[in-house]
């Protein structure tokens, strides 16, 4: 099964806008960017990439990207890697 088949439609972002949490983790000079499923496919498994699934636990259990960690919004800060050079991919299914 391909990434496109597993999560279609899929919203993939360098960081998911999690309401007020987004501002805490974004520096003023850096923004968030959307990337395509093809770009995510190329990044999966890279040493400097961490993948986070922002779906609810039921959706996560039905299928998630290899190596993806379910986002715990209450403890997101502790889930993030200490190496600030690590590229982060947050994704969720788009209901529209």
In this prediction the pTM is 0.67
- Give Cα 15 to chain centroid, integer Å: 6
Per-residue pLDDT tens digits for 30-82: 667 888 888 999 999 999 999 999 999 999 999 999 899 999 888 888 899 99
Residues 84 and 57: their CA atoms lie apart, in Å, by 27
Interacting residues of 42 by C-beta distance below 8 A, sequence separation 6+? none
């Amino acid at each position: 099964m391909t990434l496109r088949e597993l999560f279609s439609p899929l919203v993939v972002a360098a960081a998911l806008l999690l309401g007020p949490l987004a501002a805490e983790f974004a520096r003023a000079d850096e923004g968030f960017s959307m990337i395509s499923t093809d770009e995510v496919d190329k990044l999966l498994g890279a040493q400097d990439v961490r993948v986070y699934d922002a779906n609810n636990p039921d959706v996560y259990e039905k299928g998630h990207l290899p190596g993806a960690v379910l986002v715990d919004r209450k403890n997101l800060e502790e889930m993030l890697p200490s190496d600030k050079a690590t590229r982060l991919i947050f994704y969720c299914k788009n209901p529209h």
